[in-house]
Amino acid sequence: MTVSDLDGAIAFYREVVGLQLAHVIAAREAALARGVRVNVISPGPVDTPTFDRMGIPGEEPRQTKEQIIQLTPRKRFAQPGEIADEVLYLSSHESRFIIGTDLAIDGGRIQR
């Protein structure tokens, strides 16, 4: 995977975010009538074993991870617990006024 591949992936990610927003708006309209809150979580790169199990040979997984890290303002992958914390927050009473949000938990990548 090259940096240009990652640029394409980021463009695809932005399109997906647009699609997710459309889903949130539609779900929000349906859910509000029923008293249900609908939000979307859009995680960026997350440090899980899945990336290493993709069957990519040699140094390529490590090099790809490094390229992704360089494109992420926080300069690291998220830990699964960081994503879980935000899901827990959106599921809690404390977020009762948040409706129809697409929360990007991506270390600032969406801003690039």
Q: Mind listing the pLDDT tens digit for each residue in 68-107?
A: 999 999 999 999 999 999 999 999 999 999 887 888 999 9
Structure confidence at residue 59 as a pLDDT band (50, 70, 90): confident
What is the average pLDDT across 28-56? 81
Residue with tokens 């899901």: 87
Give CA–CA dist 11/32, Å, rounded.
31
Strand, coil or helix: what is 40?
strand
Residue with tokens 């090259």: 2
Residue 15 in this model has a pLDDT that exceeds 50? yes
* Tokens describing residue 20: 């997710």
Would you state the pLDDT for residue 6?
Answer: 46
Task: Determine the length of the chain.
Answer: 112
Instruction: Characterize the bridge pairing of strands 40-43 and 102-105.
Output: parallel
Domains of the chain and CATH, by start? 3-111 (3.40.50.720)
